[in-house]
Amino acid sequence: MSVIEISHITKDYGQGRGVFDVSFSVHKGEVLGFLGPNGAGKTTTIRQLMGFIKPDHGTLTILGRDCFKEADVIQRSLGYLPGEIAFIDSMNGMEFIRFVAKMKNMKGMGRAQELMERFELDAMGKLKKMSKGMKQKIGIVCAFMDPSAEILILDEPTSGLDPLMQSRFVELVLEEKKAGKTILMSSHMFEEIERTCDRAAIIREGKLVAVEEIEKLKEGRQKNIEITFQDTGMAKAFAAEFPKAVYQDGSRTVTARVGRNLDSFIKKAGEYTITDLDVRTQSLEEFFMHFYGEGADK
């Protein structure tokens, strides 16, 4: 069952900026990673889901409710972490968290205290004086503090967090996933996407280029293989049979990026005497660059 449904939305800001005919959905209980380079349209899509802006065309619904027409209910009922948080600078962190809890009609502060401890946040200081990371932690507390929120929409949740806090965040998302929550999360952090998400939606220049299961994406990754042969003659002869293999005259080493042809590559190499072998699987990040870069929509 899909909880979040985005259907053919266009928001055209002119000069090719905005989002164009974007459709995808997030199923109940899944974590969907929303990826794309800067300016690709992630925030523009998320802001339409929150009902802050209206699409020129198309519809967005959450649990069947129209995101723009029923923005009040939607904003109150789900956990949301904006990409850039509009803080009320005169408040201290704690006052802001209380203010958000009130806006969400929460009785009490829910999980706020526990989350502050988890992220080692001292929220008593003035927001104006807080670092980017501290403000981000406040955003996380606000997004996750309501235990009744079944849906979480997070716009670059770990930006500004140090590696320890990023990994605490990943743990939190995994717990929430276990508890059955539905999560849409935009991110630049491939590792956190790989560790938490079931599927990824990839957007580029305002257009969706892929929605794919993370496991499938992982399978599609290539390997960088470096083979050292017993002598240069072998290296040269082997490289001649694989046009994509890189071989420098006089060297005993051949390097190649290998995907589906792994089996034939290894079998052919096995015909020669190998003295060393190094295999590195492309990271998900390198793999995504193929979607991000030129020719991604081919």
Ligand X SMILES: Nc1ncnc2c1ncn2[C@@H]1O[C@H](COP(=O)(O)OP(=O)(O)OP(=O)(O)O)[C@@H](O)[C@H]1O
In whole angstroms, the minimum distance from the beta carbon of 36 to ligand X comes to 5
Structural tokens at position 90: 């005169």
Sign of CA pseudo-dihedral 273, 246, 261, 35? positive
Which stretch in 36-44, 162-170, 217-225, 264-272 sits in contact with ligand X by CB under 6 A? Answer: 36-44
The interface with ligand X within residues 269-298 (CB under 6 A) comprises none
43: contact with ligand X by CB under 6 A:
yes
| Shortest Å, Cβ 206 to ligand X | 7
Cα dihedral sign for 283, 219, 256, 37? Answer: negative
Query: Does 36 contact ligand X by CB under 6 A?
Result: yes
Does residue 79 interact with ligand X by CB under 6 A? no
Residue 207 in the binding site for ligand X (CB under 6 A): no
18 counts as binding ligand X under rule CB under 6 A: yes
Residue 52 or residue 99: which is nearer to ligand X going by CB?
A: 52
Neighbours of 158 (CB within 10 A): 25
Beta carbon nearer to ligand X, 115 or 202 = 202
Q: Which two tokens stand for residue 82?
A: 């904006």
**Among residues 6, 24, 31, 44, the one that binds ligand X under rule CB under 6 A:** 44
Considering only 6, 40, 100, 284, the residue that binds ligand X (CB under 6 A) is 40
**Residue 38 C-beta: closest distance to ligand X, Å:** 3
Among 8, 21, 27, 39, indicate the residue that binds ligand X (CB under 6 A).
39
Minimum distance from residue 201 beta carbon to ligand X (Å): 12
DSSP 14-76: ETTEEEEEEEEEEETT-EEEEE-STTSSHHHHHHHHTTSS--SEEEEEETTEETTTTHHHHHH
User: Among residues 201 and 217, whose Cβ is nearest to ligand X?
Assistant: 201
Asked whether position 13 contacts ligand X by CB under 6 A, the answer is yes
Q: What is the DSSP string of 62-129?
A: ETTEETTTTHHHHHHHSEEE-SS----TTSBHHHHHHHHHHHTT-STTTTHHHHHHHTT--TTSBGGG
Rounded Cα distance, 191 and 189, in Å: 5
Site string for ligand X, 80-99 (x = CB under 6 A): ---x----------------
Question: How far is CA 117 from its chain centroid?
Answer: 25
Within the chain, how many helices (H) and strands (E) appear? 11, 14
Is residue 222 close enough to count as binding ligand X by CB under 6 A? no
Compute the least distance from the CB of residue 84 to ligand X, in Å: 9
Beta strands 57-62 and 65-66, pairing class: antiparallel
Interacting stretch for ligand X, rule CB under 6 A, among 39-47, 61-69, 74-82, 92-100? 39-47
The only residue of 5, 7, 12, 17 in contact with ligand X, by rule CB under 6 A: 17
Identify the CA nearest to 141 among candidates 183, 86, 96. Answer: 96
Asked if residue 21 binds ligand X (CB under 6 A), the reply is no
Shorter beta-carbon distance to ligand X: residue 20 or 247: 20
Residues near ligand X (CB under 6 A): 13, 17-18, 36, 38-44, 83
